[in-house]
Amino acid sequence: MLLTQLNRECLLHLFSFLDKNSRKSLSKTCHKLLQVFQDPLLWSLLNFHSPAELTKDNFLLGPALKHLSICWYAERVKVCNIEDWMKNDFQRDFCNRHANTVSDFLLEVCNRCPNLLSLTLSGCGHITDECILVLLKNCPKLKTLKLENCVRITDQTLEAVICYGRSLQTLHVDFCRNVTQTGLERVRKKCPLVILRAERSANMIPDSKPGKKLMLKKVSGEPVQL
């Protein structure tokens, strides 16, 4: 039996074992396999390992997308995590090349994927609170939100979770240095059913421009100026 003689259900099952590039290559062989590639049911799960992958044409965004992961663990992530006022010209140029890549992609997700159930972002140093706010508004079924090493995420994202994360069951904000203990306590108080994890977040020192005094609290609760 030829591959193209299989029914649609079998072909979808076979395609599900292939990575995005292999699916795209196979879809170029005939019209029937192209239709399988374009079937939204094939794209309920998407995993990306760098911002560059988001600009390729080897996947499909649609209402069937349920689980999305964008995890960037390369050494270059460290450049994005440097405070803007500390970056040299080379580092700024590097960041400018992909500064809006993930944000623009997530806006497309907001418009096309209202049934999204889980989102994981790791090493996405340019993602902002505003982007997460729009996502929570447009994806009301979101149950799991995991943010790791997203340095621009602040307590504003936590407030957005309180206001719009009605279906949220799990929230991780690990290594997000601009999230505070006060913001975390508000989530615990307002959303007691949400499983909240914030590994090494509230204990990290938030970004502070040179010359700006940073207020920290001692164990006794008394504020101290640095």
Same domain, residue pair 72 and 143 = yes
Using DSSP, state whether 185 is helix, strand or coil. helix
Note the pLDDT of residue 217. 46
Same domain, residue pair 94 and 170 = yes
Same domain, residue pair 83 and 132 = yes
- Domain holding 17, by residue range, is 1-42
Domain count, the chain: 2
Average pLDDT, the chain: 87
In angstroms, rounded to a whole number, what is the distance separating the alpha carbons of residues 121 and 124?
6
Residue 203, domain member (yes or no): no
Same domain, residue pair 139 and 175 = yes
Q: Left if phi > 0, otherwise alpha if psi is -120 to 50, otherwise beta: which for 221?
A: left
Residue with tokens 């170029």: 28
Find out whether 100 and 79 touch, Cβ atoms under 8 Å.
no
Give 35-88 pLDDT, tens digit per residue.
999 999 999 999 999 888 999 999 999 999 999 999 988 666 677 776 776 778
Give 105-122 pLDDT, tens digit per residue.
999 999 999 999 999 999
Same domain, residue pair 47 and 114 = yes
Note the pLDDT of residue 115. 97
Same domain, residue pair 51 and 21 = no
Specify the length of the chain in residues.
Answer: 226
Position 99 confidence tier, pLDDT thresholds 50, 70, 90: confident
Give 181-219 pLDDT, tens digit per residue.
999 999 999 999 999 999 888 776 666 665 554 444 444
HSE (CB half, 13 Å, CA atoms) of 162? 14
- Which of the two residues, 175 and 93, has the higher pLDDT score? 175
Tell me, what CATH number does 31's domain have? 1.20.1280
